[in-house]
Amino acid sequence: MGKTLKLGLFGFGCVGQGLYHVLHETRGIKAEIKKICVKHPEKKRALPDSFFTYDKDIILHDPEIDVVVELIDDADAAFQIVKAALQNGKHVVTANKKMLAENLEEIYHLQQQYNRSVLYEGAVCGSIPIIRNLEEYYDNDLITEVSGIFNGSTNYILTKLFDEKKNYACALAEAQQLGFAESDPSLDVQGFDPKFKLAIVLAHAFGVFVKPDDIVNFGIDRISASDLAYAQQHNLTIKLVARAFKTGNTIHGLVAPQFVEARSPLRHIYNEYNAVQVRGAFSEKQLFVGKGAGGYPTGSAVLSDISALRYGYRYEYRKLQQHTGTVYSNDITVQARVRFPADQVIPLHHFLELQSGYAGARDQYLIGRVHIDTLKAWSTDTATGLILAPEPDFAPARSIAKPDGLLVA
Amino acid sequence: MGKTLKLGLFGFGCVGQGLYHVLHETRGIKAEIKKICVKHPEKKRALPDSFFTYDKDIILHDPEIDVVVELIDDADAAFQIVKAALQNGKHVVTANKKMLAENLEEIYHLQQQYNRSVLYEGAVCGSIPIIRNLEEYYDNDLITEVSGIFNGSTNYILTKLFDEKKNYACALAEAQQLGFAESDPSLDVQGFDPKFKLAIVLAHAFGVFVKPDDIVNFGIDRISASDLAYAQQHNLTIKLVARAFKTGNTIHGLVAPQFVEARSPLRHIYNEYNAVQVRGAFSEKQLFVGKGAGGYPTGSAVLSDISALRYGYRYEYRKLQQHTGTVYSNDITVQARVRFPADQVIPLHHFLELQSGYAGARDQYLIGRVHIDTLKAWSTDTATGLILAPEPDFAPARSIAKPDGLLVA
């Protein structure tokens, strides 16, 4: 089975340490960490000093090192490391979703140019092997949708809110303490982290490269007590749902909180677990569930990528090659429940269809159909809250319906 | 991407027709059906006569045919076809779990001998890519358990019993009408079909070849009205659970009905859906859910195997090669609720621990720990009913505890 792979690590945080332990407790894989590049010489480390370096070139220019494992926080620095590693003839394994999402098209071309492989299963939904499955298994299927819970820390927070009746601040603090949250929690709670993952999924599911800026994300940080009460009254819960889907020849993407019914498989995904649903024309609904956060699950995914490199594995990006004029677009509408402050004049012209409305002492609510561009505008307006309908019923944009004779309770 | 694969099909039932349609509605794969061998010349077919032959050698000796797709019912005839196909230099794709389970070790050696590939994702849990995932993705992980709902028709029946309050005979008839049940329904309801799948999973998860006869199976055909009532009182449901697991260096397998709690992920697997849970030391719990029965989901899995052959894919059976003295054993005990007729003297000596008991007008019940060998003996005694505890708490066999001072309500 050939020689032992020599690894050069960048970063030795939660995932790096998880990888180290997983590697040392399995016997199936011949790989060993030769060097670890870290930033802070002053930090106390769990391994002997000889493992560590503070100079990235020690790893990048070591001809013995076959694989660079990139596990640092900073996306720009990470991309420079990935580029340099490929240029120096090394394969790369990375779990950096932001770096990947922002540079995926270039990384695709760099792999071709230098004939080296970049694998990143650990970047998307922790231990769930979704990229590998999209690559390997769904290449002959007509995929219509890939959606689900792509972020462990927000799902942890939502579980605490709904199933344990804790408040938001307390739940967030717990998630951070357990190491589930990103170092900057706004990446999680505002839906950026699942958006980065969604950009990666879009390439492997539908063969389109989409910049994260072109995908709309709405966070969970504005869920109010009355949203919780509404959900409870209607036997619903709220999940942060990332979704890539197809209408005709057009691909769409969106990250937003959504009401979820009791019978939905997403209802029963608790704590730091993630879930990915794949809808295909023939295999119909597939669901993958696994831990989406934490050093061990992600370390295990990273190690699987390292193991795959021993067999010469590389992503084929087959959907790109089967590409037949599909385009990415945000020209789509969706049903949602929108919350405005009581004293605000409701921008009715943004509603393409109105279903119902309610005005309370502090807030007013409208349930209706809105354009994704409107949703994007509201996402930066902290006064406005929004949660998608249980079956959000996406539909291409059309002329604005007249919202006459409606409201107000 | 090379030439078009030419396929020779054996059988044109539900899965074969599903495959034909899936193949004709996808553009990603270059493969075409050249010939279909069927048994009954008198049957009306959906395709032109020129597609069909009644002589297996027309396919087996056609040098143009690269892949034999074996989709017939008869396991012995299927094995002869697989052997002949390999001997004639053809790769094989099959969905015949009984044939595979009974001959897996020989099929493993035949693949090596003739340097050809036999793929069979469609044989295990329909559209769920579990074999490929165990092969490719879990080879560096320490798997401790693979379990779940491996049979679509019994899960359909149990869903109708529990969620729609239908009776058993009516639910079985419906499953047959929908094409979910095997031609001989006792294969499903007595747990043989999931046992065949479990034998295949055992090889890919733990690297052991186990004959189906060495795996104990207990069916769902003896679930009584009082079992249903007991489940309802305790907010439980019943699922037919197949389970391969490890204690120390020993591997075990069992198929038996089991009580399932409301929060269990298996609780929410309805109708013909299957679910596979994989527990690993580092990735922890993974769950895969998808349709386990029906022509399209299985046809889609078969087509994925055909697609993989274009890339030279073969199962590596890596766990066999990592083999380090693990053995298969039935020397294990489990907690269960056992039902005996009211007039029977309860064989108390079979209970290693007793938890509780109840005697009614028609039946008596004991909840306690029994050896798998006892469970096997009861499986052929139609008077005895058995359902595993929600957390069955498997434990190595030990000396019999004295069941003194217990019973009867």
- Give the DSSP per-residue string, A300-314: HHHHHHHHHHHTT--
Supply B101's token pair: 């389970």
Given the structure tokens 């895969």, which residue do they identify? Answer: B288
| pLDDT value, residue A407 | 35
Is B284's Cβ below 8 Å from some Cβ in A? Answer: yes
Contact yes or no for A141 and B289 at CB 8 A? no
Cα–Cα distance for residue pair A355/A305, rounded to 1 Å: 48
What is the average pLDDT value for chain A, to the nearest integer? 90
Cα–Cα distance for residue pair B271/B174, rounded to 1 Å: 11
Q: Which of B240, B91, B127 is nearest to A143 (CA)?
A: B127
Which residue among A27, A140, A290 places its CB closest to the CB of B285? A290
Q: What is the CA radius of gyration of chain A?
A: 22
ipTM (interface pTM): 0.86
Given the structure tokens 């196909």, which residue do they identify? Answer: B85
What is the distance in angstroms between the Cα of B239 and the nearest Cα belonging to chain A?
17
Supply A80's token pair: 């420079």
Given the structure tokens 């590697």, which residue do they identify? Answer: A23
DSSP string, A119-164: E-GGGSSTT--HHHHHHHTSTTS-EEEEEEE--HHHHHHHHHHHHS
Please list, in sequence order, all residues whose beta carbon lies within 8 angstroms of the beta carbon of residue A371, skipping any fewer than 6 positions away. A331, A332, A333, A350, A352, A397
Cα–Cα distance for residue pair A148/A287, rounded to 1 Å: 9
Any idea where the domains of chain B sit in the sequence? Answer: 5-123, 130-292+320-328, 332-396
Neighbours of B384 (CB within 10 A): 19
pLDDT per residue, tens digit, chain B (409 aa), is 467 899 999 999 888 988 888 888 776 678 999 999 999 888 888 889 999 999 999 999 999 999 999 999 999 999 999 999 999 999 999 999 999 999 999 999 999 999 999 999 999 998 899 999 999 877 777 899 999 999 999 999 999 999 888 888 888 888 888 877 766 788 999 999 999 999 999 999 999 999 999 999 999 999 988 899 999 999 999 999 999 999 988 999 999 999 999 989 899 999 999 999 999 877 778 999 999 877 888 888 999 899 899 888 999 998 887 766 789 999 999 999 999 999 998 889 999 988 888 888 889 999 999 999 999 999 999 899 999 999 888 998 764 444 443 333 2
Q: Looking at the domain B5-123, which fold is it?
A: Rossmann fold (3.40.50)
Q: What are phi and psi of B170, to 5 degrees?
A: -65, -40
Triad A244, A249, A255: Cα angle to 5°: 15
Contact yes or no for B286 and A139 at CB 8 A? no
Which amino acid is residue A111, in one-letter code? Q
Contact yes or no for B133 and A128 at CB 8 A? no
Contact yes or no for A290 and B281 at CB 8 A? no
Contact assessment for residue A268 and residue B268, using Cβ atoms and an 8 Å cutoff = yes
Cα–Cα distance for residue pair A45/A43, rounded to 1 Å: 6
Supply B264's token pair: 């269990």
Residues A307-345 pLDDT 10s: 899 888 999 998 887 766 789 999 999 999 999 999 998
Q: Which of B142, B130, B203, B146 is nearest to A303 (CA)?
A: B142
Given the structure tokens 């020397």, which residue do they identify? Answer: B331
Give the SS3 label for residue B104: helix
Given the structure tokens 């004293």, which residue do they identify? Answer: A343
Contact yes or no for B283 and A142 at CB 8 A? no
Distances (CA, A) of B78 to A20, B73, B97, B293: 46, 8, 10, 20
Residues A141-184 pLDDT 10s: 789 999 999 999 999 999 999 988 888 888 888 888 887 776 67
| Residues in A 132-171 with any Cβ partner in B closer than 8 A | 132-133, 136-142
| pLDDT value, residue B177 | 84
Which residue among B140, B283, B307 places its CB closest to the CB of A29? B140
Tell which CATH classification among 1.10.645.10, 3.30.360.10, 2.30.110.10, 3.40.50.80 matches the domain A130-293+319-328.
Answer: 3.30.360.10
Q: What is the CA radius of gyration of chain B?
A: 22
Contact assessment for residue B33 and residue B9, using Cβ atoms and an 8 Å cutoff = yes
DSSP string, B320-333: HHT--S-EE---EE
Distances (CA, A) of B52 to A396, B59, B68, B302: 45, 10, 14, 20
Element (H, E) at B86: helix B75-87
- CA closest to B274 among chain A residues: A286
Instruction: Provide the whole-model pTM.
Output: 0.90
Contact assessment for residue A379 and residue A216, using Cβ atoms and an 8 Å cutoff = yes
What is the distance in angstroms between the Cα of B60 and the nearest Cα belonging to chain A?
26
Neighbours of A51 (CB within 10 A): 16
Burial profile B262-284: b = 16 or more Cβ within 10 angstroms, e = fewer: eebbbbbbebbbbbbbbbbebbb
Which amino acid is residue B282, in one-letter code? F
What is the dihedral sign for C-alpha B325, B328, B329, B334?
positive
Contact assessment for residue A198 and residue A255, using Cβ atoms and an 8 Å cutoff = yes
Helix axes B75-87, B97-114, angle to 10 degrees: 10
Q: What is the DSSP letter of B400?
A: P
Q: Looking at the domain A332-396, which fold is it?
A: Alpha-Beta Plaits (3.30.70)
Contact assessment for residue B147 and residue B241, using Cβ atoms and an 8 Å cutoff = yes
Contact yes or no for A297 and B291 at CB 8 A? no
Given the structure tokens 């008596």, which residue do they identify? Answer: B364
Q: Which residues of A touch B18 (CB under 8 A)?
A: 282
| pLDDT value, residue B89 | 97
- CA closest to B29 among chain A residues: A140
Element (H, E) at A95: none
Architecture of domain B130-292+320-328: 2-Layer Sandwich (3.30)
State yes or no: pLDDT of A399 exceeds 80: no
Cα–Cα distance for residue pair B171/B174, rounded to 1 Å: 5
| pLDDT value, residue A59 | 98
Which amino acid is residue A261, in one-letter code? E
Side-chain-side CA neighbours of A158 within 13 Å: the count stands at 33
Q: Give Cα B206 to chain centroid, integer Å.
A: 16
Q: Catalytic: A165?
A: no
Contact yes or no for A297 and B284 at CB 8 A? yes
Which spans in B164-294 are helix H?
Answer: 168-177, 185-189, 192-206, 225-233
Q: Give Cα A52 to chain centroid, integer Å.
A: 31
Supply A169's token pair: 């601040």
| pLDDT value, residue A323 | 63
Which residue among B18, B281, B284 places its CB closest to the CB of A25? B281
What is the distance in angstroms between the Cα of B291 and the nearest Cα belonging to chain A?
7
Q: What are phi and psi of B227, to 5 degrees?
A: -65, -45
Contact yes or no for B27 and A283 at CB 8 A? no
Please list, in sequence order, all residues whose beta carbon lies within 8 angstroms of the beta carbon of residue A313, skipping any fewer than 6 positions away. A117, A119
Cα–Cα distance for residue pair A117/A164, rounded to 1 Å: 44
Cis omega (within 30 of 0) for bond into A408: yes
Q: Looking at the DSSP assignment, which residues form a beta bridge with residue A37?
A: A10, A53
Please list, in sequence order, all residues whose beta carbon lies within 8 angstroms of the beta carbon of residue A368, skipping any fewer than 6 positions away. A335, A336, A338, A351, A352, A353, A354, A355, A403
| pLDDT value, residue B2 | 61
State yes or no: pLDDT of A239 exceeds 90: yes
Cα–Cα distance for residue pair B197/B204, rounded to 1 Å: 11
Supply B328's token pair: 């298969």
Cα–Cα distance for residue pair A388/A393, rounded to 1 Å: 10
Q: Which of B163, B144, B145 is nearest to B273 (CA)?
A: B163
Which residue among A22, A267, A282 places its CB closest to the CB of B299? A282
Tell me the mean pLDDT in the region A303-309. Answer: 91
Residues A260-298 pLDDT 10s: 999 898 999 999 999 999 998 777 789 999 998 778 888
Please list, in sequence order, all residues whose beta carbon lies within 8 angstroms of the beta carbon of residue A59, skipping any fewer than 6 positions away. A8, A9, A10, A35, A37, A53, A65, A68
Cα–Cα distance for residue pair A220/A149, rounded to 1 Å: 13
Q: Which residues of A touch B136 (CB under 8 A)?
A: 129, 132, 136, 308
Give the SS3 label for residue A280: strand
Supply A222's token pair: 């504005």
Element (H, E) at A238: strand A236-247
| Residues in A 211-270 with any Cβ partner in B closer than 8 A | 263, 265, 267-268
| pLDDT value, residue B137 | 78
Q: Which of B270, B120, B97 is nearest to B193 (CA)?
A: B97
Which residue among A142, A300, A322 places its CB closest to the CB of B141? A300
Side-chain-side CA neighbours of B254 within 13 Å: the count stands at 26
Q: Which of B286, B348, B44, B302 is nearest to A296 (CA)?
A: B286
Residues A101-119 pLDDT 10s: 999 999 999 999 999 999 9
Q: What is the DSSP letter of B373?
A: H
Cα–Cα distance for residue pair A366/A273, rounded to 1 Å: 31
Fold matches, B130-292+320-328 and B332-396: no
Contact assessment for residue B270 and residue B163, using Cβ atoms and an 8 Å cutoff = yes
